[in-house]
Structure 1
Amino acid sequence: MTVLRNPVIRGFAPDPSMVRVGDWYYVATSSFEWFPTIPIHRSRDLAHWEYAGHVRGAAPGDSLAGVPDSGGIWAPSLSWDGERFWVVYSVVRSVGTPYFDVDTYVSTALEAGGKWSEPRRLPSHGFDPALFHEEGRLWLLNLQNDHRPGGRRFAGIVLTELDRETLGPLGETQLLLQHERLVEGPKLVRRGDWYHLVLAEGGTGFEHGVLMARGRAVTGPYELDDRPLLTSRDDPSLPLQKAGHGELVQMADGEWVLSHLAARPLNTPDGPRCTLGRETAIQAVVWDAEGWPRLRHGGSHPAVEVDVATPPVETEEESISQLTVPEDPLGWPWSTLRGPADPSWADATTRPGWIRLRGRHGPESRWAHSLLARRITEHRAEAEVTVQARPRSFTQAAGLVLRYDSESYLSLDLTWAEPVCEEQCGQQWRGEGRTVLALTEREESGTRRVTEVEVAAEAPLTLGVTVDEGRARFWYVHEGVRTPVGPPLDFTQLSDDHGSRLRFTGVMAGVHAVDLVDASFTADFTGFRLICW
């Protein structure tokens, strides 16, 4: 018996799709505008998870340039047909409009962390696709989107049979189910004579849940369960909120579990805020006398600690999780925006032990921002890095950033400023001025330069930030002493729940470089450290 503690994959790991292959469990999660696309984790005991690779090439042309914040790759669904892994997913190019502008793709691989096939496009009725394999047949499930004025944007769940070789549709698409509440994220599983339809209900915020339906045939009709399998919407005191978007998986011993997303909010005067994004959790499931799945511990609320019947796996338990430099200095756990790390702007070879970034677009770009970042996995965290750069213009900057998206970030950057007492005049070509540390706060209402501190121009400088109790305190090391820069800032504005826009990711800590004129400015970074506890 193993005791798992939720979330099992912590910090920005939403929409988990889980499958068992032999003794291994695999989970694929949404990556949105971030690379690597569709991270995959694996575990033998459901409690301890490791990064197993990603679906390389999931974005056509290896580019998501131009997609909006929280657009890109939504809700991948991972499956196994007895020989190959399959992943089906949508690339969403419009967020917050009646048109999602969705392209749905499928890719296959013999190993989850191996080479994935070139994506092939499928019928794209809406996002949240899934595949169902049965006796050599292949079915595609989709949310149906109705963009018309007066239409229901979430207009039900549809089913299309596909030819396994050509992936073309066989016959007509069929409507499986509609519901007065928003339903999405369909998954199909067969148990005995019943086909069970697992549905994400109520949106992906605090009203989220998992609702079940079942039918005697894969094409229906489907009857809805009279209560949710999982939700936390009726109890804001629960440590796991937003519980929903589930998938049922049968274990090797015949027992069942449910993978799902959840969030751990911070309580603030402005309400709960989920800075860590949505994360991956697992619940134990039993079947009642009427044949419906129920949480083994009773009720519909997610449990933090869950007993599962898996063999224990030896592991070194750590009270603090520390991210270390991987064998590939630009690989996981680093992530990049809208494209993979490219030697043309991210170089780990020229200066051994350092990463050199060539500045490109600014931090609000949807095209070419030179950024390397890692997930923050706990509410208390500390990041630091040593940077060496010589900006000669206000159009050049490099430093440490806490980023949610292009309209929500905090950064401490080396940049250029006019000489003391000279007004902001933009004459960067004069070559005069100062090297400063600039603390910047960006949120929906606009950008604020919090403070500037003059520093030496040439020497390497260590920058850092400490996050605790919803506040972010930036600092730099001066003469061996941590020296604060500006006041503590509101870290909770970097969350799913701040502002009026739809937001689906989580906070990342990283390094970036900017050069708005000719993309020639470079900055060198070393000793990046991120501790979360």
Structure 2
Amino acid sequence: MPKVLNPILPGFNADPSILRVGDDYYIATSTFEWYPGVQIHHSKDLANWELVTRPLNRKSQLDMRGNPDSCGIWAPCLTHDGEKFWLVYTDVKRKDGSFKDTHNYIVHASAIEGPWSDPIYANSSGFDPSLFHDEDGRKWFANMLQDHRRRPRSFAGIRLQEFDPKQEKLVGPMKTVFYGTELDLVEGPHLYKRNGWYYLLTAEGGTGYEHACTLARSRNIWGPYELHPQKYIVSSKDHPLAALQRAGHGDIVDTPDGKTYVVHLTGRPITQFRRCVLGRETAIQEAYWGDDDWLYVKNGPVPSLHVDLPAARDDTAYWAEQRYTFDAAKGLHKDFQWLRTPEPERIFTIAENKLQLIGRESIGSWFEQALVARRQTHFSYDAEAVIDFSPTDERQFAGLTAYYCRYNFFYLTVTAHADGQRELLILTSEASWPEGRLNFPLAQPVQIPNSGRVRLALSIRGKELQFFYTLEGEQELKRIGPVYDASILSDECGGHQAHGSFTGAFVGMAASDLDGLEARANFDYFVYRPVKHESDRYEV
């Protein structure tokens, strides 16, 4: 079989839940504060994947305005009961401090593309829920239990309860069936049944460099569950030089010909600070069932950078330049997302082959900001856009941004001085948690004419970011500002240095009008151009 390079879903695609229906494979991943919620990719061969839907795409299903960074949609679980698809997910409203407000919901659909139902509320007792369809037709809802009285961690085990699809609610007794190992932070449960055994796969150790997949089993769904002989079937925690780090939070799938694979999240660190600028990605490992009825990862538990899959991967599209134009009839390209709001018409429109951003709140707002962006999926790339924007003062600004969260971004803006003179100004917020302040002194602004389009560009080569611009009628890009440290656009710098930042770097277009006058910024196109660079340990 062909050797395929991990990850199979590069860039921010965390907490994978995998499902096979016939010859079709699907992976659902977390989207956190990015809208629409949940990404579902499809494949026929486990190697080549295409984004087919984001099912939580209307206000009745999801409204994340006010959700802090790295809250929102956590750890979806995608299953099929022979008749329809089921998707279970958490909408996290608060995660920091002693309390976590974590609301769990269930939606379903006859086809993967939808339409997906309005959500059924399940509970709020924890997060990372899953739904297991037993052989007798009963459905079981499992999620971690949150106990705010525990110190230093509030993770209190895996809680199980039956779900009645006719009544659309949890019913009957609930019980904590698994408390995890000494690694702690047990979460992300998935249940399976094979040869009379119930298997419980969980995530432990947080989502940083101690992360792991823990496997246990029982003859009874209520337990007691015995641990796997290795405890952790996937983990890089004891191997700091392994290419794939932060390995954990997995799911299991069988192929039609009887092979077994485990998908799991992972991170690929760069720089001496081990920063994962592409966030938590989805990797896959070949596994097998031993004579003892335990699952083992081939050559594991340390995950392999290369894995045998049924087909080779076609990377042509992955390395191709993506030039995005805007057509109202086609809508926004599926690569793009925005933040939190289920009312996108308030932050952008497409008309006359332009994307028009409606200036709202400041970049980094947790409520309503006009920011449309795509994932960074390569360690090195170029991006550019042409903007037409006529600000009247310093409180109106729009442009090109490399963005992680409100605490970490680089932003080349078209704005104006207090006297109305238009200028280019770079705004940065580099690892500024908890204040979320801009970095001062600001780079020297560049005065530009008060009319005319401006071409804005940025270049990232590994950890180095440089902005460029050129005015209408000119061809050659000019440097603006210093070289910045792009590696701070990472989980490790996202405001919570351990177990608290969960997304990945984005690049896109943004507009703000702090005067509340809804100033409009028009973008002609957006380009994302992958670059193979000698600094890229994984891609060259």
SS in 1 for 2:282: strand
Amino acid in the other structure paired with 2:316: E
SS in 2 for 1:125: coil
Kept in 2, the 8 Å contact 1:57–1:118? The answer is no
Deviation at 1:439, TM superposition (A): 0.7
Match of 1:473 among 439, 458, 466: 466
CA spacing shift, 1:519–1:4, aligned 2, 3 Å = farther
SS in 2 for 1:226: strand
Is 1:458 the counterpart of 2:451 in the alignment?
yes
Is 1:372 the counterpart of 2:372 in the alignment?
yes
Amino acid in the other structure paired with 1:491: A
Q: Tell me the equivalent position of 1:175.
A: 176
Separation (CA, whole Å) in 2 of partners of 1:98 and 1:139: 28
SS in 2 for 1:492: helix
Amino acid in the other structure paired with 2:105: Y
Kept in 2, the 8 Å contact 1:261–1:281? The answer is yes
Q: Tell me the equivalent position of 1:165.
A: 166
Is 1:485 the counterpart of 2:483 in the alignment?
no
Deviation at 1:111, TM superposition (A): 1.2
Match of 2:191 among 188, 192, 199: 188
Separation (CA, whole Å) in 1 of partners of 2:170 and 2:342: 33
Instruction: Give runs of aligned pairs for residues 234-249 of structure 1, distance below 5 A.
Output: 234-249=238-253
Kept in 2, the 8 Å contact 1:3–1:47? The answer is no
Separation (CA, whole Å) in 1 of partners of 2:406 and 2:283: 28
Deviation at 1:325, TM superposition (A): 3.1
Separation (CA, whole Å) in 2 of partners of 1:407 and 1:6: 30
CA spacing shift, 1:354–1:182, aligned 2, 3 Å = same
Q: Tell me the equivalent position of 2:257.
A: 253
Deviation at 1:190, TM superposition (A): 1.0
SS in 1 for 2:25: strand
Deviation at 1:153, TM superposition (A): 0.8
Once structures 1 and 2 are overlaid, which stretch shifts more, 367-376 or 449-458?
449-458
Separation (CA, whole Å) in 2 of partners of 1:433 and 1:171: 66
| 1:121-173 deviations in Å (ceiling 9; x for gaps) | 00222001001001210000010010125475110011101112113233210
Match of 2:518 among 506, 517, 520: 520
Amino acid in the other structure paired with 1:335: Q
Deviation at 1:59, TM superposition (A): 6.3
Deviation at 1:25, TM superposition (A): 0.4
List alignment gaps of at least 5 residues for structure 2: 532-540
Q: Tell me the equivalent position of 1:202.
A: 205
SS in 2 for 1:169: strand
State TM-score, norm by structure 1: 0.93
Match of 1:345 among 334, 339, 347: 347
Deviation at 1:60, TM superposition (A): 4.3
Separation (CA, whole Å) in 1 of partners of 2:379 and 2:503: 15
Kept in 2, the 8 Å contact 1:132–1:139? The answer is yes
CA spacing shift, 1:471–1:106, aligned 2, 3 Å = same
Kept in 1, the 8 Å contact 2:101–2:124? The answer is no
Is 1:498 the counterpart of 2:489 in the alignment?
no
Separation (CA, whole Å) in 2 of partners of 1:324 and 1:158: 47
Is 1:437 the counterpart of 2:424 in the alignment?
yes
Q: Tell me the equivalent position of 1:264.
A: 268
Considering only aligned residues, what root-mean-square deviation do their CA atoms show, in Å? 1.8
Once structures 1 and 2 are overlaid, which stretch shifts more, 369-378 or 517-526?
517-526
SS in 2 for 1:32: coil
Is 1:447 the counterpart of 2:438 in the alignment?
yes
Separation (CA, whole Å) in 2 of partners of 1:513 and 1:499: 22
Deviation at 1:517, TM superposition (A): 1.4
Q: Tell me the equivalent position of 2:381.
A: 381
List alignment gaps of at least 5 residues for structure 1: 419-431
SS in 2 for 1:303: coil
Q: Tell me the equivalent position of 2:33.
A: 33
| 1:229-267 deviations in Å (ceiling 9; x for gaps) | 011111222221111000011111111000110111112
Q: Tell me the equivalent position of 2:535.
A: none
Q: Tell me the equivalent position of 1:18.
A: 18
Q: Tell me the equivalent position of 1:294.
A: 296
Kept in 1, the 8 Å contact 2:4–2:312? The answer is no
Amino acid in the other structure paired with 1:434: Q
CA spacing shift, 1:252–1:125, aligned 2, 3 Å = same
Separation (CA, whole Å) in 2 of partners of 1:30 and 1:316: 24
Kept in 2, the 8 Å contact 1:57–1:116? The answer is no
SS in 1 for 2:451: coil
Separation (CA, whole Å) in 2 of partners of 1:341 and 1:276: 28
Once structures 1 and 2 are overlaid, which stretch shifts more, 284-293 or 21-30?
284-293
- Percent identical residues: 36
Amino acid in the other structure paired with 1:243: A
Kept in 1, the 8 Å contact 2:3–2:312? The answer is no
| 1:426-463 deviations in Å (ceiling 9; x for gaps) | xxxxxx34211001110343312223111122111100
Separation (CA, whole Å) in 2 of partners of 1:344 and 1:500: 28
Separation (CA, whole Å) in 2 of partners of 1:385 and 1:115: 34
CA spacing shift, 1:324–1:481, aligned 2, 3 Å = closer
| Total equivalences in the alignment | 513
Q: Tell me the equivalent position of 1:509.
A: 507
SS in 1 for 2:229: coil
Kept in 2, the 8 Å contact 1:2–1:47? The answer is no
Kept in 1, the 8 Å contact 2:277–2:504? The answer is yes
CA spacing shift, 1:356–1:319, aligned 2, 3 Å = closer
SS in 2 for 1:46: coil
Deviation at 1:414, TM superposition (A): 0.3
Separation (CA, whole Å) in 1 of partners of 2:98 and 2:31: 22
Amino acid in the other structure paired with 1:225: H
Structure 1 outlier segments of 4+, above 6 Å: none
SS in 1 for 2:18: strand
SS in 2 for 1:497: helix
Amino acid in the other structure paired with 1:337: L
Deviation at 1:516, TM superposition (A): 1.1
Match of 1:330 among 329, 332, 335: 332
